[in-house]
Structure 1
Amino acid sequence: MKIHPLLTDNQDIADICERFSTAEFVAVDTEFMRENTYWPILCLIQISDGKEAAAIDPLAKGVDLQPLLDLLVDNENVLKIFHAGGQDVEIIHNMTGKTPHPIFDTQVAAMALGPSEQIGYANLVNSWLGITLDKGARFTDWSRRPLNDRQIEYAIGDVTHLASIFSNMLEKLIETGRGMWINAEMEKLADPDNYVNDPEESWRRVKFQSRNPEALGRLKALAAWRENEAQTKDMPRGRIMRDETLADIAAHPPKDQAKLSQVRGLSSSWKNNDIGERLMNALANAKPLSKDEMPDRSGRRAKFSKENALVVDLLKLLLKIRSSEMNVASRLLARADDLERIVAGEREGIGLLEGWRYEEFGRDAIDLIEGRMSFTVKDGKLKMTHNTDSRSEDT
């Protein structure tokens, strides 16, 4: 494979993107920093079509990344390969308002080909290629220039290995017939809605015990205020206010700004500074959370009995057995929330009860809930047996 030096010249970048525009796929990775900012700082982009590879320097003076962005978000003929690509896709979305498509994520694909749910890149390379990666450059400050040859080689290695792994994975997916299993997961990863930083929805990330509509309304207002502050200042939201402090204020709002000096996690200056005033305005304008916005799980938990919880545990056991038999990650078949929903009586809009997931696991999960399946021990091993229908055989 031809490895290029670090690309900083716009013509070189345009030329390689032109060549890649007719490739079957490109493997993509990014290096970025976001410890001290709200928006990630893109420091390096690595790309390979399996025949040549390069790292592009987005921090180079006067650099034009448009040919690369056009390749990634507008060229539908080239498959884009990532590993655990959520943050890489987020960066591209921040720059363009679009996401790469079509897309293939090797971490997701690995779930259909083995039991690991979130396999790390180093372990993926070792298990698929038998290569042990040099970890010495993992903690590089990618924003510093110049980058040395070892750092650039390390970064480009991410996409050269990724290109090889993709080819091997594709062959295995075709062999096992499991390619269709991950199509929906890939489409979710490429959905632009997943990368919109909507302050009005940021409250959903904060752990909060109360189900009081007024307290939840304050939580929503405060979380939106904090998100806007963080975006405007380009500062991590936790630097504005920690989740625990935000939840405490939502649950026990101060009567006036002077009381902010008594809130744990805030400095005394909040009692008379501008940011404290904006916080108090957010509280004053907060409205009770509407019924439509109430967290879904509140109602389900309210009607969840001990017997329901036991059935969920049985389903988790069934899931563990079935995923082990299939040699897939259990999370690919179903998530805990799916199991709780079907035990609570829900049947609509649940991925577990649709398509291949229903055929492989969902039907048996419903049979267990409705008494048509039981656990038995045979030859010292736990088995599932269908009790009453024509499919009364061990699985």
Structure 2
Amino acid sequence: MTVTLHRNDLPADFEITGNSLAVDCETMGLNLQRDRLCLIQLSTGDGTAHLVQFSDGYEAPRLKSLLADTAVTKLFHFGRFDIAAIERYLGIACTPVYCTKIASKLVRTFTDRHGLKDLCADLLNVSISKQQQSSDWGAEELSEEQLRYAASDVLYLHALRARLDDMLAREGRLDLAQACFDFLPHRARLDLAGWDEVDIFAH
């Protein structure tokens, strides 16, 4: 694992290989209107993670350009929250997207364990720690434990996608999954607009 921390934006020479990018966010809490975005983690699935820490606003033109690039699929785990946080604080629509949690719920119907830790253990035989999940991400200096935790949230998403896509294809649910992924940015926008606790499709 190689983890590189950047301040406020990606460096000018940052490039990705391939057409997919794992993405995750760390915030001060789970209230999108109150709890600011502190960190965005990125990985191309090659064992490296790049972390962008926000301490001086959200200009970040290079990061924004990458996340808004429609030629790059952004991979998330529980993308609904991260996509909303990115739109709320960076002001961009993050598309196209893929969500390993949605994929798991669609195809792993034999279990209710769809957390990232569970998926890594069940599908990749990888153990990850969630100890730093509730730590202070607004701190000026992040600890080594926080950096490793943040990196682990993106390092395995490409491998998980491959395993989940095989299962979705086997069960004939790839098209259904894609329709859910296409809707996900709209679901995030509904959260931002105040419909976070309301199912508008309910009777």
TM-score by length of 1: 0.45
The superposition leaves residues 80-107 of structure 1 with CA deviations (integer Å, 9 ceiling, x where unpaired) of 1111111111111113444211111111
- What is residue 45 of structure 1 aligned with on the other side? 40
Cα distance 1:35–1:124, how it changes in 2: closer, same or farther (>3 A)? closer
From 86, 92, 105, give the equivalent of 1:111. 105
Q: Greater strand share, 1 or 2?
A: 2
State the alpha-carbon separation in 1 of the partners of residues 139 and 189 from structure 2: 32
Q: CA offset at residue 42 of structure 1?
A: 0.8
- What is residue 177 of structure 2 aligned with on the other side? 182
- What is residue 5 of structure 1 aligned with on the other side? 4
- Answer 1 or 2: higher relative contact order, Cα 8 Å, separation at least 6: 2
5+ residue gaps, structure 2: none
State the alpha-carbon separation in 2 of the partners of residues 110 and 37 from structure 1: 25
The superposition leaves residues 116-150 of structure 1 with CA deviations (integer Å, 9 ceiling, x where unpaired) of 45722211211111222223212211111211112
Q: CA offset at residue 195 of structure 1?
A: 4.0
1:34 maps to 2:29:
yes
Cα distance 1:197–1:165, how it changes in 2: closer, same or farther (>3 A)? same
Conservation of the 8 A alpha-carbon contact between 1:4 and 1:53: yes
Conservation of the 8 A alpha-carbon contact between 1:30 and 1:44: yes
Conservation of the 8 A alpha-carbon contact between 1:40 and 1:91: no
Listed as ranges, the matches of 1:165-244 within 5 Å are: 165-191=160-186, 193-197=189-193, 205=198
Conservation of the 8 A alpha-carbon contact between 1:84 and 1:108: yes
Equivalent position amino acid for 1:7 in 2: H
Deviating runs (4+, > 6 A) in structure 1? none
Listed as ranges, the matches of 1:1-395 within 5 Å are: 3-8=2-7, 10=9, 12-16=10-14, 19-20=15-16, 23-34=18-29, 38-51=33-46, 52-59=48-55, 61=56, 64-73=59-68, 75-115=69-109, 116=111, 119-191=114-186, 193-197=189-193, 205=198, 337=202
Q: Helix, strand or coil: the match of 1:146?
A: coil
Conservation of the 8 A alpha-carbon contact between 2:32 and 2:85: no
The superposition leaves residues 218-254 of structure 1 with CA deviations (integer Å, 9 ceiling, x where unpaired) of xxxxxxxxxxxxxxxxxxxxxxxxxxxxxxxxxxxxx
Q: Greater helix share, 1 or 2?
A: 1
TM-score by length of 2: 0.83
State the alpha-carbon separation in 2 of the partners of residues 41 and 154 from structure 1: 19
Moved more, 164-173 or 178-187: 164-173
Cα distance 1:166–1:189, how it changes in 2: closer, same or farther (>3 A)? same
Equivalent position amino acid for 2:66 in 1: L
CA RMSD between the two structures: 2.8
State the alpha-carbon separation in 2 of the partners of residues 9 and 89 from structure 1: 18
